[in-house]
Chain A
């Protein structure tokens, strides 16, 4: 499973400082989130889509597969808004379906927004190892070590919890538990799954924390780093690239708006 997320080749994007890259991408996502300018959002989406396909170091097929969920969100959210949204200049109406110029526009804005944010987050996630991201956060951004290592430890628990979920599914089948249909069934499932899985996870997390302290991990201790992260020229390029993308998108000439 994890090998699937290993890139085919390491590009300059992988070598950028992970924390700085994270900050830049976070800023772009923030701007996207508050923007109501369709042309701006479209340009950013194209820009980072291109970025992803050219520089991420992943095969095109994998990238298309990873983009699929975002494309689906685009379709569903823009369609819903376009068909049922409010608007004055009605283009077509049939029953509760009312398509207007405004609804088409806001549908496109919301759809493109989710697509663009998805692409930007993929650029970050696919070119950054979580371990390095936290090392850089600790070194460049003074992020407290206890939180960084807790996050990394929690990541280790994920596959264990998935396996346990499977075991619980099997065990419930063996015990002959049949769930009701509808909301009641959801409640029954929640109850029967959450109690044993939470009990196990809490115990496990506690044991892990004790094991970390047994390895002389202390709060606010001076520490050295196995992965020494720093800034390089690449970070300057990346910054320029991101600023450039925002500028071009903002200054898009009128006819394209």
Chain B
């Protein structure tokens, strides 16, 4: 704390150029015993680009909401402070592209912002076009459904509507978290171009793209206490231990992981067990395989096969058909063509489709897959199916909980877990099915560095134990270092199979 005070002391509270600030902030979430932000003090001068970092659950988004005034004006959370200065005008871009808009069309959404400010009808269209141009979007006719835009375009539209507010300060809460690499690149290009002369306060996981653009990093711990506050280079240099301890993404995290003993052990293990295709059995064969959602064919695989102990990374743009491939392999949607699983031909099932035995699918949103009220029941369900007796189950459930690093409280409700834990639980339930082929839809998505490596290491262990993994991912590093093969999907076609 002492050091933090010293650093932010550079910008004194009485500086006329301060546009956002809070002193001695304390805040309490309902239902949580602990106080957050123990007397946090922060002053942000005009024009500064401030990145807030911290482990998940450290209150980064909450801090943005406090600084903007959304807490307490729109969201009621009990809090105290000795002084606070809200920005005179501000805008906010949120994480989820699908919950930022209230109107169906682009023009109507932008008009909503202008109407709120009482801008006359006659000025609206020119202001809309100007804002869209600033974020690099252009439409001949502005009256197009927001639903028809890509996720990346939606986030740029959100940024455009923020620009219409003529904000002094812009808050960005992980604007690229739900975007593919292309969308991420676009939104950051638009942000850098349109906000270069404004004060920007942001929370972001994928910091590689922006680390050169920001002036200051504010680092929080699990209780929202200030660990560090200063220039990015200084913070990275002096607080590396904190980044590692809390599993926060920082630019060198992958390089350091690849130099670590954990990674070397994995490499050595892989070389020892020999990943050569020759002595591995073929698990899955596809030929002239087509998947349908409604009438049109959404995905086509001419010919492909998967060996035991492979790790297939399925890559491609949003909407190319990656998730469709997983749904097709789990036979949740109608398919045609040859599909052979462990030597058994899976017949085309136009109606009453069943998931083939030995295949498990883990969805992107782990909550969607929860069926029981306790961790025990959640894991006991698949065990009971594979013939476990009730008195033996308890030990097995504990073993699984331990293996997947989940809380050893079988009575907990699955919804109570953190996002990373929920994700691991969904993998755990799939594994308890005794499946040999594991299909995963972006399992490392939105996870912090610690969870990402933990999940990848679990998957590697499973692969080593003889399972086959087919995983959708956007993360190039995961593809290059963990996968054994990359399947590139383009416009509903398996375009390329690349051995790694």
A, B: real partners? yes
Taking a contact as CB atoms under 8 Å apart, the answer to whether B108 and A204 are in contact is no
17 additional A-B residue pairs with CB within 8 Å, beyond A196-B368, A215-B112: A153-B103, A156-B103, A164-B368, A167-B363, A170-B327, A170-B332, A170-B363, A173-B353, A174-B330, A174-B360, A175-B369, A176-B382, A177-B371, A204-B98, A211-B101, A213-B74, A214-B70
Taking a contact as CB atoms under 8 Å apart, the answer to whether A199 and B367 are in contact is yes
A155 to B145, CA, bound (A): 13
B215 at interface by CB-CB < 8 Å: no
A222-B118 CB under 8 A given contacts A208-B102, A210-B75, A214-B91: yes
Question: Which of B70, B115, B369 interacts with A223 by CB under 8 Å?
Answer: B115
User: Range of interface residues on chain A?
Assistant: 35 or more
Q: Determine the chain B residues whose CB is within 8 A of the CB of A173 once the complex forms.
A: 332, 353-355
Which of B119-127, B230-238, B280-288 sits within the interface? B119-127
Q: Determine the chain B residues whose CB is within 8 A of the CB of A224 once the complex forms.
A: 114-115, 118-121
Question: Which of A174, A212, A214 interacts with B361 by CB under 8 Å?
Answer: A174
A70 to B73, CA, bound (A): 48
Which residues of B pack against A, CB within 8 Å?
Answer: 68, 70, 73-75, 91-92, 94, 96, 98-105, 107-108, 111-121, 124, 145, 147, 161, 165, 327, 330, 332, 353-355, 360-361, 363, 365, 367-371, 381-382, 385, 415, 429, 433
Taking a contact as CB atoms under 8 Å apart, the answer to whether B118 and A211 are in contact is no
A214-B96 CB under 8 A given contacts A200-B367, A224-B121: no
A162 to B363, CA, bound (A): 17
Residues of A194-221 at the interface with B, using a CB-CB cut-off of 8 Å, are 196, 199-200, 204, 207-218, 221
Taking a contact as CB atoms under 8 Å apart, the answer to whether B120 and A207 are in contact is no
Q: Determine the chain A residues whose CB is within 8 A of the CB of B118 once the complex forms.
A: 221-224
A243 at interface by CB-CB < 8 Å: no
Q: How far is the CB of B472 from chain A (nearest CB, A)?
A: 14
Taking a contact as CB atoms under 8 Å apart, the answer to whether B73 and A213 are in contact is yes
A175 to B113, CA, bound (A): 44
Which residue of chain B has its CB nearest to the CB of A210? B74
20 A-B contacts (beta carbon < 8 Å):
A131-B108, A152-B102, A152-B103, A155-B104, A156-B104, A159-B147, A167-B368, A173-B353, A174-B361, A175-B369, A207-B94, A207-B99, A211-B99, A214-B74, A215-B161, A216-B116, A221-B118, A223-B115, A223-B118, A226-B108
The residue among B111, B327, B369 with the most chain A CB atoms within 10 A of its own CB is B369
Taking a contact as CB atoms under 8 Å apart, the answer to whether B107 and A226 are in contact is yes
Taking a contact as CB atoms under 8 Å apart, the answer to whether A223 and B429 are in contact is no
Which residue of chain B has its CB nearest to the CB of A216? B116
Q: Determine the chain B residues whose CB is within 8 A of the CB of A210 once the complex forms.
A: 70, 74-75, 94
A168 at interface by CB-CB < 8 Å: yes
Which residues of A pack against B, CB within 8 Å?
Answer: 2, 131, 149, 152-153, 155-156, 159-160, 164, 167-168, 170-177, 192, 196, 199-200, 204, 207-218, 221-226, 228
Which residue of chain A has its CB nearest to the CB of B331? A173
Q: How far is the CB of B260 from chain A (nearest CB, A)?
A: 35
Question: Which of A167, A170, A221 interacts with B116 by CB under 8 Å?
Answer: A221
Q: Determine the chain B residues whose CB is within 8 A of the CB of A168 once the complex forms.
A: 368
Complex A-B, nearest 7 residue pairs according to Cβ-Cβ distance, in ascending order: A226-B111, A153-B102, A214-B92, A207-B99, A213-B74, A171-B369, A216-B116
A174 to B355, CA, bound (A): 6
Which residue of chain B has its CB nearest to the CB of A203? B99
Q: Determine the chain A residues whose CB is within 8 A of the CB of B113 once the complex forms.
A: 215-216
Taking a contact as CB atoms under 8 Å apart, the answer to whether B332 and A2 are in contact is no
Q: Determine the chain A residues whose CB is within 8 A of the CB of B108 once the complex forms.
A: 131, 226
Q: Determine the chain B residues whose CB is within 8 A of the CB of A204 once the complex forms.
A: 96, 98-99
Q: Determine the chain A residues whose CB is within 8 A of the CB of B415 once the complex forms.
A: 199
Q: Determine the chain A residues whose CB is within 8 A of the CB of B99 once the complex forms.
A: 204, 207-208, 211
The residue among A164, A174, A211 with the most chain B CB atoms within 10 A of its own CB is A174
Q: How far is the CB of A19 from chain B (nearest CB, A)?
A: 17
